[in-house]
Amino acid sequence: MKYRCTFTNSFWLPNPTGWKIGMKATLLLCVLTACLVILSGCADQGAKKIKIGLSMDSLRVERWQKDRDIFTAEAEKLGAEVIVQSADGDERKQNEQAENMITQGVDVLVVIPKDSVAASQIVQAAHAEGIKVIAYDRLIRESSPDLYISFDNEQVGYLQAEYLLRQKPKGDYFLLGGAPTDNNAQLLRQGQMRALQAAIDSGDIRLVAEGKHWAVNWDPRDALKKAEQVLTQTDNKVDAVVASNDGTAGGVIQALEGQNLAGSVLVSGQDAELAACQRIVKGTQTMTVYKPIHLIATKAAQAAVALAKGEPIAEATQTVNNGKIDVPSILLTPIQVDKDNLDAAVIKDGFHTREAVYQE
């Protein structure tokens, strides 16, 4: 009579002198093999791949495409899977997409909010399922996100206006803000006014249109429309335009070109978009503020993976109040860029090639 071990597929035959010893040894081998199989299954469960949801306002602006690609590449390098959803500038759609990613079982949600208040619903829904939330580049208000990572946006606004003020310490200034629903647009305006207020108070700087214009959805077409209106109202008497990003700067410069004023009116920007860098070389845009996208996207991906593992974020040494809590924050340093340091700041960093910027 033969006996068979289920796990080893081996057989043994009893013998008069040693069959008991042999049977015990083989049974022990079967038990050990079974334990290894069970432990292997536990290890597979323990190595479950981290899943990160990246909820984006829109991909219409060039820089956000770079954020997406760099973030995804870094997260995947760290072993995570990334689900990307773009809301096309619709806050309701963004909330729905975030709910869908929560249903898919993401471990962390990274949110670039369309509306800083409406996105609070995303934080609440994620936390209800034990999912951590990172506010990326734009603060989410009236909620409790686990981390905020951005550049110092108030400082970005300050750098924009401060640069123009050094070039034109007296004159008529037009302030064109970004989307009024974007908390960053408000922070930029605070920084701009911090740079200009003393000169306004002294009468050296006069704000045309009372600083009331904002470009809906950061849309260059709306910026063009608003700039045309102001040029008409002031009979083209504008010395400088504090445009809050490169897209709106492009709309402003298009309006100036229509009045043969491009290059004679100072125009700021933000993001160091390729078209903006080309305009700086050409002389129609005065400056931009470069926010190294590789830095923020890489650090955000690293933080997302760390949060998913339950690890602390050592770099979150600052806080920003969002109207409800002081949100642990990583705030990075922006850089003023003009024709003099464009090569050193933007091209050397690999953000654009010299051939593309100078159209060689």
Interval 180-207: pLDDT, tens: 989 999 999 999 999 999 999 999 999 9
Same-domain check for residues 345 and 227: yes
Same-domain check for residues 42 and 67: no
Same-domain check for residues 200 and 262: yes
Domain with 118, as residue range(s), is 51-145+295-332
What's the rounded mean pLDDT across residues 77-82?
97
Same-domain check for residues 253 and 323: no
Confidence of residue 8 (pLDDT cuts 50, 70, 90): very low
Dist CA 67 CA 73 (whole Å)? 10
- Lowest mean pLDDT, pick from 5-19, 126-140, 147-161, 185-199: 5-19
Reading phi first (left if > 0) and then psi (alpha if -120 to 50, else beta), residue 4 is in beta
Dist CA 103 CA 129 (whole Å)? 9
Interval 21-50: pLDDT, tens: 555 555 555 555 555 545 544 444 456 899
CATH of the domain at 276: 3.40.50.2300
Tell if the pTM clears 0.85, that is, is over it.
no
% of residues, the chain, pLDDT over 70: 87
Dist CA 153 CA 77 (whole Å)? 29
Same-domain check for residues 165 and 277: yes
Confidence of residue 61 (pLDDT cuts 50, 70, 90): confident
- Count structural domains, the chain: 3
What's the rounded mean pLDDT across residues 89-114?
96
Query: Quick one: which H or E segment has residue 205?
Result: strand 205-207
Confidence of residue 286 (pLDDT cuts 50, 70, 90): very high
- Give SS3 for 143: coil
Same-domain check for residues 354 and 254: yes
